[in-house]
């Protein structure tokens, strides 16, 4: 069994995770659109748009930010037998720490130099106090269901804030832009 995380492994992991999570988020957004269509049918278009933009879409994208919350492993980390570890405890990182390490995903281009310098710790890992290690099957997750729920909600709030900033900036450049809320 290998015991070293390489640059190539981390870059591959980032790429595989991006494609896998984009696909998964696409499915979640499809569900959001279907629910939005149901809301349009049951309520009205303005209320449905508000529900989709303010609640459902951020929660769908929150899945991406929580990609390695379960046992410290994302899709790519499962394939490559890696996991996210809490630096202080040496245990599997909690779902909330995994969310915190992924808040830098929107600026992923900045993450690449960090991975090239230190394959175990990108910028998000430095912020969250985590690192990536080879899978240790002796470690067991101590996370409680409420931690997964909180990390998903935090992810939704974070994405909603990013959406809000983007919409505010877009609205300030385009005065004719209209949102029903």
pLDDT (0 to 100) of residue 1: 44
Whether 85 maps to a domain, the answer reads yes
Whether 48 maps to a domain, the answer reads yes
**Per-residue model confidence as pLDDT tens digits over 82-132:** 999 999 999 999 999 999 999 998 888 898 899 999 999 999 999 999 999
Whether 78 maps to a domain, the answer reads yes
Residue 76 has pLDDT above 80, yes or no: yes
> Rounded mean pLDDT of 18-28?
90
Whether 1 maps to a domain, the answer reads no
The answer to whether the CB of 122 falls within 8 A of the CB of 111 is yes
List the Cα angle 128/131/132 in 5-degree steps.
135
Strand partners for 86: 130
Whether 69 maps to a domain, the answer reads yes
Whether 179 maps to a domain, the answer reads no
Q: Please count the structural domains in the chain.
A: 1
153, 149, 112, 114 alpha-carbon torsion, rounded to 10°: 110
Whether 79 maps to a domain, the answer reads yes
The answer to whether the CB of 147 falls within 8 A of the CB of 49 is no
Whether 180 maps to a domain, the answer reads no
The answer to whether the CB of 108 falls within 8 A of the CB of 137 is no
For 145-170, b/e burial (b = at least 16 CB within 10 A) is eebbeebbebbbebbbeeeeeeeeee
| Domain boundaries, position 65 | 7-173
């Amino acid at each position: 069994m290998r015991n070293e995380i390489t640059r190539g492994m981390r870059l591959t992991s980032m790429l595989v995770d991006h494609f896998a999570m984009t696909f998964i988020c696409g499915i979640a957004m499809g569900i959001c659109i279907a629910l939005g269509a149901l809301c349009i049918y049951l309520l009205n278009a303005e209320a449905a748009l508000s529900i989709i933009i303010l609640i459902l879409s951020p929660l769908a994208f929150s899945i991406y930010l929580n990609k390695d919350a379960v046992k410290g492993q994302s899709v790519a980390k499962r394939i490559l037998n890696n996991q996210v570890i809490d630096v202080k405890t040496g245990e599997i990182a909690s779902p909330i720490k995994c969310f915190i390490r992924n808040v830098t995903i929107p600026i992923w281009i900045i993450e690449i130099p960090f991975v090239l310098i230190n394959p175990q710790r990108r910028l998000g890992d430095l912020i969250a106090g985590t690192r990536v290690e080879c899978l240790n099957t002796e470690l067991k997750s101590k996370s409680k269901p409420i931690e997964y729920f909180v990390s998903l909600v935090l992810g939704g709030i974070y994405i909603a804030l990013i959406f809000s900033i983007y919409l505010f900036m877009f609205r300030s450049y385009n005065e004719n832009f209209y949102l029903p809320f």
